[in-house]
Amino acid sequence: MRTIQLFNSEAQANYKKAGRAAMKNAEEDDIIPKGQCGSQKQHQSIDLALSKRLIWDSLILERRSSGWISNNAKSCFDRIVHWVAKTALRRFGLPVTVTNLMFNILAKAKHRVRTGFGDSDRTFGPTGDVPFQGCGQGNGAGPCIWVAISAILIDAMEAEGFGYKSRTALTNEEFFALCFCFVDDTDVMESNDNVETTGEDLLPLVQSALDLWSGDISATGGAINPAKSFWWLIDFKWRPSSGTWVFRRKAEMPGQLTLQEPTGPWATLRRLQPNEAERTLGVMMAPLETGTAQHLALREKAKNWAAKFRPQHLLRYNVLPLLKATALKTLEYVMPLSTLGRSDWVSIMSPILQASLNKAGVCRSFHRVVVFAPLKYQGLGIPHPFALQVFHHLSVLMRHFTLPFAFAFAFAFIWLVFSLVKVHSRILDHIHVNL
């Protein structure tokens, strides 16, 4: 279990107020790098995952080699050096009196263990003149403190010239990508402007990017956990037999990255094949998108939900609302990024419906057309996940669209409306025929 620190209520209120004020100043002054998406308004983790997918697609279109390192900071909130955090928060506009007050409390605080049997009589705290470091898991200003520190680290990486630069196809605007951070989960990438650069040529630059990032993390008191880190080396080759470009495999492009562990020795990071997906930000992702890993992961979640749901005793009219509020919400999270087909979603929903329909007083083999039909058409009102996926795709487009693309989105929306009208008419015809 992770140790969660419960602060004095007055101190926690002050921490939260200071964190909100610092983030407001930083957002107004635009000093938070675009790669840091955590702890900010109107930012979602799934949008960051979508950005990673779009950069991969751009690399595939341009056939450019790149190194992609996904790393996780080890107990980052508990390892922050106070003077570093103070300096970063001063950059975010907090007065020195506020930062001194915040970290003097943290440095001198005495800790008790709280359980169901009460608080411990013995306390744990700093001894002598050596203060504690870290801001503590559960600190109301903790996310803001890490954003302030990571903003400096990302700027340092950009100053050294690491990252990926390209231009948009329609507007010819230059865009830049370096890090994809959501609090302490970070992806660092390195690519070369020259499309002729091979993966082998790029490997030393990727190692340099990792060394700089891990070194900066270490300078703030943190460390990267090699056990939770992995990487891809992306490059392409022409396959004459099929007339297509394909990813190069590890055997064709040997190489490894090393990283110093928090305990001292050096470790070799786990390298994945281009089609090997790994869970990042709650989504199974890989440079070569297949959808198989995401489908299997969602299917496993559906089975686990069904296994935990079966022994429960519920009133019939509570079953379907519970299904919509729990299982469907879990599936909906990945929908802005997923491209699963209708049959895939049907197989994912199968264990959920098998476990819940009987409890709702409905035959579990009830025709799925009626199960997914709206209530006003005498259906059960369970949204079809494939239709939800389409709506989430449109929702992402509408949230991020700009004026030059308004007409394209309007056309897409009109097309969707006509398509849904046709689908609804087919559902009604199907229900009428079966009845």
Summarised one tens digit per residue, pLDDT across range 131-142 is: 888 888 888 888
Please compute, for residue 14, the number of CA atoms within 13 A of its CA located in the half-sphere on the CB side. Answer: 15
pLDDT(174) > 90: no
pLDDT at 417: 56
Summarised one tens digit per residue, pLDDT across range 349-360 is: 999 999 999 899
Residues 283 and 294 sit within 8 Å (Cβ to Cβ): yes
Task: Over range 395-417, report the average pLDDT.
Answer: 63
- Alpha carbon distance 246, 234 (integer Å): 10
Task: Over range 247-272, report the average pLDDT.
Answer: 87
Q: What is the DSSP letter of 265?
A: S
Summarised one tens digit per residue, pLDDT across range 200-244 is: 999 999 999 999 998 888 888 888 888 888 999 999 999 998 889
User: Where do the structural domains in the chain lie, given as residue ranges?
Assistant: 9-285, 292-434
pTM for the model = 0.84
Most confident of 11-15, 175-179, 424-428: 11-15
pLDDT(431) > 50: no
Closest CA to 73 of 225, 261, 246: 225
The three-class DSSP label of residue 242 is: coil
- Alpha carbon distance 371, 72 (integer Å): 42
Burial 363-391 (b: 16+ CB within 10 A, else e): eeeeeeebbbbeeeeebbebebbbeebee
Q: Cβ atoms within 10 A of the Cβ of 55, count?
A: 21
- Alpha carbon distance 394, 397 (integer Å): 5
**Location of structure tokens 């928090």:** 262
Task: Over range 167-189, report the average pLDDT.
Answer: 84
Share of the chain above pLDDT 90, in %: 36
| Whole-Å CA distances, 216 to 66, 154, 176, 219 | 22, 9, 21, 5
pLDDT(184) > 90: no
Task: Over range 274-302, report the average pLDDT.
Answer: 91
Share of the chain above pLDDT 70, in %: 91
The three-class DSSP label of residue 180 is: strand
pLDDT(418) > 60: no
Task: Over range 400-405, report the average pLDDT.
Answer: 61
Summarised one tens digit per residue, pLDDT across range 302-319 is: 999 999 999 988 899 899
Closest CA to 257 of 231, 285, 277: 231
Q: Give the pLDDT band (50/70/90) at residue 415.
A: low
Summarised one tens digit per residue, pLDDT across range 316-351 is: 989 999 999 999 999 999 999 998 999 999 999 999
Average pLDDT of the chain is 85
Q: What is the DSSP letter of 163?
A: S
pLDDT(167) > 60: yes
